[in-house]
Amino acid sequence: MDPIQKIRDGLRNLLVSALEKSRAEGLITFDCLPDFVIEVPRDEGHGDFSSNVAMLMARSARMAPRKIAEIIVRQIDRKLMPELQKVEIAGAGFINFFLDQSWLYYLPALVIGMGDRYGSSPKQNLKVQVEFVSANPTGNLHMGNARGGAIGDTLANALSFAGYDVEREFYINDAGNQIEVFAQSLEARYLQLMGAKIEFPDNGYAGQDVVDTVKNIIRDYKDALLVMSSEERQKFVVNYALKEKIEYIKTTLSNFGINYDVWFSETSLHASGQVNEVIDYLMEKGFIYEEDGALWFRSTLFGDEKDEVVIRANGLPTYFATDIAYHRDKFRRGFDRVINVWGADHHGHVARMKGAVQALGYDEGRLDILLMQLVRLYRGGIVVRMSKRTGTTVSLDELIDEVGKDAARFFFVMRSPDSQMDFDLDLAKEKGQDNPVYYVQYAHARIQSIFRQAAAAGVERKRVEEVDFSVLGTEEMQLLRKIADFPEEITIVARTMAPHRIARYILDLAGLFHSFYNHHRVLNENQSLQDARLLLMETTRITIKNALTILGVSAPDQM
RNA sequence: GUCCCUGUGGCUCAGCCUGGAUAGAGCAACGGACUUCUAAUCCGUAGGUCGGGGGUUCGAAUCCCUCCGGGGACGCCA
């Protein structure tokens, strides 16, 4: 139930039937209707809704836009929409619709009736998978993972609200080159800590977290690894470390409000033979050729700049080969839509991944890759380079400790994924009023406070049917109008993969609330006004809470 | 060199996909509002050649071309 969509549909009907009537009466000629819009004008003086249909028809109808608008307006059947108060022609030929404010009176009943489902759309029987974070299990979660987590989880929540069946997935990169290096690093640290004088690998993981893991191994197993062969020892330490790291990732992301449905292991693709199988398949189809001892995928067939190696000359598959098998597996699991949230540093991988999906016979339109620009971390006004090797960066668990889950999630999702983000640690640590999350949460807390006051005074909220909303004034109606936008906002977020819009939306809504709050009292002498405002407050509270829930931010009862 | 993201008041950004009417927020600045449901709030003032140029259009921050600045990717790494 989308209030805005309902009105748009109604107005569209009105215009279309007016146009067809005009044509039937020979007032205007056209072959087909233009792709016109019914938009919400920026300026209130231009009505509640506005259409550009007359301007778009001007050319084909060989008539001045205003003239067309006049014809249309004359033919509009007002009976089709009782809440329509006035229709005006303005500017170059806009048709502006003014509605009686009563069209919003049903909203409190709708919102309160739906409760924590307000904003959601009916189930549409479409399965979507969102894969996000998928951090390498070789180190701590960094700010890039954090941003990806906030964006991916918010998007998943929004998709779920928009009527999709959503599955959240974490792809565990527990195979491949970096795991080899990880194993070597762990082994070297173990031997060093046990007193051996050996070199640490040049490109190894030099971070403190590797040392910490090895200390845990020593705590648990003492010198038992010294007698093993190097191969055995590496296998042992890497298994230990992966288990520990994955546990750490699960715990930290859970503390960040993210819980996955599926943890998918890369190793399982190798173990089940799916990687080799999919390469064989593509070879049969002619998408793979051999050169310089390696096997190449013809990604240039699909618009990529160059072909890509899938099996190296040493016989080992590349990450890309595994990813092809992985994506085939995703589609085989029956998802109608597959969304990957990737850092911008992976953008070179997009074209060939989509190409591979096509080569496998799937519509590449079913694979959406949301690229988010990277996060730059600042401390004391200086950029902190994020390197897994040096371990000098701030990890997600540290961030949650310092600024809290709510602020961190809001902050990360507030900006468009397309925009590069500077995360100023010093600023984020300030739990002051600069942080917009408090602004929104405060609105929720204030409303709950009103309800506490009301309860203390023995005031009860009336049932919606008993309340007359015509006592509400301009500011109250603006609040209701904003609340009416919520369902549409969610569907836009789901369609355009733009989770930051929810943060924007809720800041706007909170702003309207605070403004109202400072100008009017909910609890007052005027009984009917108080009744209406109490329900308006509950309507507002539900919407704020639902939006915060999608963002993964708590809605406190008091602050 | 090729590709991706980006350039909007002093600062941080939204709007661009799907063109629409005098371009919006927040922060910072300045001036106001608490004996009243939480001042983590509100109200007001000031501040903009939407990076430059060209094009399409009745109409361009939005679409196209081009140039310039910032970030990123271009490996038989992931």
CA of A22 to C1' of B19 (A): 27
Smallest CA–C1' separation from A36, nucleotide? B18
Token pair of A290, please? 């051999």
Helix axes A405-414, A527-551, angle to 10 degrees: 80
Q: Å from A31 (CA) to B54 (C1')?
A: 35
For residue A139, which of A218, A49, A209 has the smallest C-alpha distance? Answer: A209
Separation of alpha carbons A406 and A437, rounded Å: 7
Who's near A538: CB < 8 A, 6+ residues apart?
A108, A111, A112, A447, A451, A461
> Closest protein residue to B25 using CA and C1' atoms?
A508
| Tokens, residue A351 | 């074209």
Which contiguous run of DSSP H or E holds residue A142? Answer: none
Give the CA A432 to C1' B10 distance in Å. Answer: 22
Coil/strand/helix, residue A110: helix
pLDDT recorded at residue A62: 83
pLDDT tens per residue across all 559 residues of chain A: 799 999 999 999 999 999 999 999 999 888 888 889 999 998 888 999 999 999 998 888 888 889 999 999 999 999 989 999 999 999 889 999 999 999 999 999 999 999 999 999 999 999 999 999 999 999 889 999 999 999 999 999 999 999 999 999 999 999 998 999 999 999 999 999 999 999 999 888 888 889 999 999 999 999 999 999 999 999 999 999 999 999 999 999 999 999 999 999 999 999 999 999 999 999 999 999 999 999 999 999 998 889 999 999 999 999 999 999 999 999 999 999 999 999 999 999 999 999 999 999 999 999 999 999 989 887 766 777 654 444 557 889 999 998 899 999 999 999 999 999 888 877 777 666 678 999 999 999 999 999 999 999 999 999 999 999 999 999 999 999 999 999 999 999 999 999 999 999 999 999 999 999 999 999 999 999 999 999 999 999 999 999 999 999 999 999 9
Residue A438 confidence (pLDDT) = 93
How far is residue A171's CA from residue A323's CA, in Å, rounded to a whole number? 10
Q: Is the separation of the CB atoms in A35 and A60 below 8 Å?
A: no
Q: What is the pLDDT of residue A391?
A: 52
Cα separation, A481 vs A111, whole angstroms: 12
Alpha helices in A333-432 (DSSP H): 350-359, 396-403, 405-414, 425-429
Residues counted in chain A: 559
Task: Tell me the CA–C1' distance in angstroms for A491 and B10.
Answer: 37
Nearest residue to B71 via alpha carbon and C1': A420
Nucleotide of closest approach to A444 (CA, C1'): B38
* Measured CA distances, A515 to A44, A100, A501, A518 (Å): 18, 23, 21, 5
Residue A390's pLDDT is: 47
- The whole-number Å distance from A433's CA to B42's C1' is 14
In this structure, are residues A256 and A396 in contact, taking their beta carbons and an 8 Å threshold?
yes
Order across the sheet with A38-39: list the strands: A38-39, A49-51, A94-99, A84-90
Strand B bases, protein C-beta under 7 A: 2-6, 12-15, 17-28, 33, 36-43, 58-59, 70-78
The CA–CA distances, whole Å, from A53 to A22, A59, A95, A415, A473 equal 14, 11, 8, 34, 32
Angstrom distance, A77 CA to B17 C1': 34
ipTM for this model: 0.95
Asked if A133 and A29 count as a contact pair (C-beta separation under 8 A), the reply is no
Query: How many Cβ atoms sit within 10 Å of the Cβ of residue A259?
Result: 10
Q: Considering all nucleic acid strands, name the nucleotide whose C1' atom is nearest to the C-alpha of residue A434.
A: B27
